[in-house]
Amino acid sequence: MKIAIVGRGVFGTFLANELAAHAEISDDADIVLIAVPVSAVGDVAQKHAGKHLVNLCSVQAKPNDACLAHSARVSGIHPMFGPQSPVTNRSCVVTLECDETAAVVDLFKKIGCEIVTHDNNGRQITGKMHDEMMRKTHLPVLMFGELAALIAEQAKDVPDNCLPTSFKRLKALAEQMKDMSPGTVESIRSNL
């Protein structure tokens, strides 16, 4: 399988490293994984019009529509992991499928992803439904994580062996938040 990954920021670079053992990564591929901030998806989709466009944003409805404006071959897949996430328990939420989605889904399965297409009530997850779930989960975590980072920074001079377990967990959360690239943060904030 030959894929292009557009966007070589934190997530795009990480994803290229993860997928390199399972796919040929080439700028001239017909399958284009879009790992850019939500504000850039339309431009990338236009540049790669007609190709199989795979929206990887943390929001799905508007980027999926932006891709559909330039190609009928569009997959919406939100990888729910990043460079600092554990290798176990990875998942990808699929919000839009075309005839070629299965091949990309299989690629994500090769790096240990559980593929999620339906909610707990058996309803197929759409871009709009996905974005509502992300408003309830990603945005509060982002806001709390930013606060945790500020709190942890104020105690940076306290030796680790003087920190209570609860504070160590707060520091771990602040560290985990570094998993969110600037593009991911932009996408999450666009979903207000």
Please tell me the number of Cα atoms within 13 Å of 12 on its side-chain side.
19
Give the tens place of pLDDT for each residue, 19-30: 999 999 999 999
Give the tens place of pLDDT for each residue, 122-173: 999 999 999 999 889 888 888 888 899 999 999 999 999 999 999 999 998 8
The rounded distance, in Å, linking the Cα atoms of 56 and 92 is: 9
Across the range 17-43, mean pLDDT stands at: 96
Instruction: Decide: 24 and 16 in contact? Cβ < 8 Å.
Output: no
Domain count, the chain: 1
Structure tokens at 35: 């790992």
Give the domain CATH number at 134: 3.40.50.720
Write down the mean pLDDT value for the chain. 93
Look up the domain containing 21 and give its range: 1-192
End-to-end CA distance of the chain: 36
Q: Write down the pTM of the prediction.
A: 0.84
pLDDT of residue 192: 67
The rounded distance, in Å, linking the Cα atoms of 54 and 5 is: 9
